[in-house]
């Protein structure tokens, strides 16, 4: 006969397996049935959204006025340079939270993350490729690297952090150092009772911080968020009555969608470029903007007959638009494999920016 409990069992087993400097498995047990997922899921969300990291938030490239310019002697255009830059992960030294870092490269050379190390910056992905120069090439650019959490779109950076940096191109900032945060829940035996649970976390980082560090910081965020509820013991707090019958129940069983792949994120980013910044002739861009089109994605999926209906938008304008889209790899052939989820994500973010 099982005993009647007056409190849930408190977990007392904690094991850390360090697979590498950037990956760990963490086992915690035993939990009462249902307690494991209540603990694991919030921690996973915080690991992905609230871990502190570093990212470039803006770039200024000499002899380039916008992200679709070409640099003489460089194989990639500026937009490809920016895409490659997003895969390179930085870490500011000496506790600095924001820094401007300038680089200059000349002559035949393939540039990698390791070439961007200096006294102020450590690159934790030294093998990642950036650009290729020929013997006549020269690349001079300056990055603004900042500390932050989560993901911040370039539009928010343009409106906020970039005000003090004139002539810089804003970048989508992926601050989180966590590449993967997964968990499984397994059954464990406690005193001949198999109905207890164990959480097994697998955490992988990009090298900006160790898995132990990001897990510890996420745990601190969770504790801070829950600390407000301690006021339930404070008799001086005002009480507000609520009719529980008017509160709608939320479905706790909705499965969380997996994050977009790197390629899909890059496609969404390109669709969110503003038309005025995507290399179109001013006359062409103005005609689209005057017809209430703002982002590249607003016109990418339009049929030719729809483009012809746009005021002051003739055959020459259509050709210029298609040329710009092809250069961005957003032409019909390139987009034939794009999923509906990518399109839905673009529309969702575009609506958020417009609001």
Question: Would the pTM count as exceeding 0.85?
Answer: no
Find all residues with CB under 8 Å of 61, minimum gap 6, and list them.
69, 71, 78, 81, 139, 140, 141, 169
- Please tell me whether residue 43 adopts helix, strand or coil conformation: helix
Mean pLDDT of the chain: 86
Q: What is the reported pLDDT for 181?
A: 93
Q: Is the pLDDT at 168 greater than 50, yes or no?
A: yes
Q: What is the reported pLDDT for 250?
A: 47
- Backbone phi, psi, residue 310, to 5°: -75, 135
Residue of 99 and 68 predicted with greater confidence: 99
Domains in the chain, CATH or no CATH each: 13-51+178-227 (3.30.1360.10), 53-174 (2.170.120.12), 262-354 (1.10.150.20)
Find the helix or strand (DSSP H, E) in which 78 lies.
helix 78-86
Q: What is the reported pLDDT for 254?
A: 47
* Residue 30, preceding peptide bond in cis (omega within 30° of 0): yes
Residue of 104 and 301 predicted with greater confidence: 104
Closest C-alpha to 156, from 130, 137, 178, 175: 175
Rounded Cα–Cα distance for residues 36 and 197 (Å): 6
Q: Is the pLDDT at 91 greater than 90, yes or no?
A: yes
Closest C-alpha to 97, from 151, 159, 175, 206: 175
Largest CA distance in the chain: 84
The structure tokens listed for 352 are 């958020």
pLDDT tens across 125-142, in order? 999 999 999 999 999 999
pLDDT band at 327 (very low <50, low <70, confident <90, very high): confident
pLDDT tens across 236-267, in order? 766 666 554 554 454 455 455 677 777 788 88
Q: What is the reported pLDDT for 243?
A: 56
Mean pLDDT over residues 196-216, rounded? Answer: 95
Q: What is the reported pLDDT for 247?
A: 45
Rounded Cα–Cα distance for residues 240 and 247 (Å): 14
Q: What is the reported pLDDT for 278?
A: 81
Are the C-beta atoms of residues 280 and 324 closer than 8 Å to each other?
yes
pLDDT tens across 269-284, in order? 888 888 887 888 888 8
The structure tokens listed for 109 are 């050379």
Beta bridge partners of 185: 199
pLDDT tens across 174-201, in order? 999 999 999 999 999 988 888 899 999 9
Q: What is the reported pLDDT for 68?
A: 85
The structure tokens listed for 318 are 């259509």
pLDDT band at 355 (very low <50, low <70, confident <90, very high): low
Mean pLDDT over residues 24-32, rounded? Answer: 95
Are the C-beta atoms of residues 178 and 205 closer than 8 Å to each other?
yes
Q: What is the reported pLDDT for 280?
A: 86
Find all residues with CB under 8 Å of 115, minimum gap 6, and list them.
103, 105, 130
Q: What is the reported pLDDT for 255?
A: 53
Range with lowest mean pLDDT among 61-70, 149-158, 211-220, 323-332:
323-332
Q: Is the pLDDT at 12 greater than 80, yes or no?
A: yes
Range with lowest mean pLDDT among 13-17, 55-59, 248-252, 345-349:
248-252
């Amino acid at each position: 006969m099982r005993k009647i409990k007056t409190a849930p069992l408190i977990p007392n087993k904690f094991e850390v397996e360090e697979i590498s400097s950037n990956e760990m498995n963490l086992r915690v047990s035993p939990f009462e049935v249902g307690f494991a997922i209540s603990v694991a899921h919030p921690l996973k969300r915080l690991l992905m959204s609230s871990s502190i990291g570093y990212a470039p938030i803006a770039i200024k490239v000499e002899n380039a006025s916008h992200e679709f310019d070409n640099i003489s002697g460089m194989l990639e255009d500026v937009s490809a340079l920016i895409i490659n830059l997003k895969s390179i992960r930085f870490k500011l030294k000496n506790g600095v939270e924001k820094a401007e870092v300038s680089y200059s490269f000349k002559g035949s050379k393939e540039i990698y993350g390791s070439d961007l190390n200096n006294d102020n910056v450590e690159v934790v992905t030294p093998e990642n490729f950036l650009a290729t120069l020929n013997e006549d090439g020269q690349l001079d650019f300056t990055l603004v690297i900042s500390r932050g959490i989560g993901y911040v779109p370039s539009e928010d950076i343009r409106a906020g952090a970039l005000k003090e940096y004139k002539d810089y191109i804003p970048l989508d900032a992926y601050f989180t150092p966590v590449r993967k945060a997964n968990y499984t829940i397994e059954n464990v035996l406690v005193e001949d009772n198999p109905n207890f649970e164990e959480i097994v976390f697998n955490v992988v980082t990009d090298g900006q911080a160790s898995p132990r560090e990001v897990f510890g910081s996420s745990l601190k965020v969770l504790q801070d968020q829950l600390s407000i509820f301690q006021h339930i013991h404070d008799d001086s707090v005002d009480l507000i009555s609520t009719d529980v019958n008017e509160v709608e129940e939320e479905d706790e069983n909705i499965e969380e969608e997996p994050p977009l792949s790197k390629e899909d994120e890059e496609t969404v980013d390109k669709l969110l470029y503003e038309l005025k910044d995507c290399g179109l002739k001013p006359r062409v861009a103005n005609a689209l903007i005057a017809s209430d089109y703002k982002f590249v994605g607003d016109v990418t999926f339009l049929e030719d007959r729809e483009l012809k209906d746009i005021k002051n938008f003739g055959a020459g304008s259509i050709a210029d638009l298609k040329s710009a889209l092809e250069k961005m790899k957003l032409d019909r052939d390139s987009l034939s494999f794009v999923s509906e989820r990518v399109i839905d994500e673009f529309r969702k973010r575009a609506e958020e920016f417009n609001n």
